[in-house]
Amino acid sequence: SPADKVHIEGEVDRDWDGIKIDVKNIRVMK
């Protein structure tokens, strides 16, 4: 899943199935 490659910082409201992400910093890990 896309979530596997994403590193998240800060407070997050994560709902990967609904693709609802409320986050201050998202870094895609390559």
The residue extents of the domains of the chain are 1-30
Q: How far apart are CA 16 and CA 10, in angstroms?
A: 17
Q: How far apart are CA 22 and CA 27, in angstroms?
A: 13
pLDDT at 25: 61
pLDDT at 20: 58
Q: Walk along the chain (30 residues) and give the pLDDT tens digit of each residue.
A: 566 666 666 555 555 555 555 565 666 655
pLDDT at 4: 64
pLDDT at 16: 56
pLDDT at 6: 66
